Amino acid sequence: MSAELDPPEFDRHAATYDGGLDNPVKKALGDADSFIAVKARWLLRHEPGLKRDGLSLLDYGCGAGDLMRVLAGLGARGTFTGCDVSTGMLDEAARRWPAGAGSAPVLSAQDGAHTPFADGQFDVATISAVLHHVPVAERPAVYAELGRVLKPGGRLYVFEHNPRNPLVRHVIARTPIDANAILLDANEVQEGLLGSGRYELETDYLMFMPPGMAFLRFVDRALAWLPLGAQYAVAARKPA
């Protein structure tokens, strides 16, 4: 395990991990799964094959497995694999997987940025709310690892908090699990990815409206171009 990472920090948060909902501002905007579901619905629009083609998906830094669990709840039925530096989080991911949600994910511990997976193993990889916890100097190793485990033509989706949104900065500064966070904007992600490989890149901004208010989802879809959403998604396609 890399000395600079601090898996015990995340082990401590594992059993009660709820995506930072201990912050009262965030709690007022929706429940934990509603925040994850914004990303999951966006992902299913970009990867409809997750519902029908049995794609293999890696969720890197999967934490308590919430993204895979919510994806399964929305009908995704691929082969799910999660990895994390925190074994406490991985234990929690196993515990939270609901009966009847399809095959439980394979869960593997990372060694720093590195994973035990084969080159070109996955059709799709996601990394959600992780990079801001990775020390800046270690981020290139994470990008390189994600590129390694993706198949040629595979797709990587990076979801992150958007530091250009003032409410996000307010919440992150007051959320205990984010005490060591260093936020990064979508341009930094794009530059980081291009430093590690040739990708076709696109960015959408997400979460302009409170996730709990389903009737306002059309506003989010209309504003996806505007770099002020609370979250963003960088989609990266690896050359075939």
Ligand X SMILES: C[S@@+](CC[C@H](N)C(=O)[O-])C[C@H]1O[C@@H](n2cnc3c(N)ncnc32)[C@H](O)[C@@H]1O
Residues that bind ligand X (CB under 6 A): 5, 10, 19, 61-63, 66-67, 84-86, 89, 110, 113, 128-130, 133-134, 138
CB of 240 to ligand X, least distance (A): 27
Closer residue to ligand X (CB): 130 or 171: 130
Neighbours of 64 (CB within 10 A): 29
The structure tokens listed for 66 are: 């919430």
Closer residue to ligand X (CB): 140 or 227: 140
Closer residue to ligand X (CB): 157 or 199: 157
Closer residue to ligand X (CB): 86 or 203: 86
Distance of CA 106 to the CA centre of its chain: 17
CB of 112 to ligand X, least distance (A): 7
Residue number closest to ligand X, CB atom: 63
CB of 34 to ligand X, least distance (A): 13
CB of 98 to ligand X, least distance (A): 16
CB of 133 to ligand X, least distance (A): 4
Closer residue to ligand X (CB): 5 or 218: 5
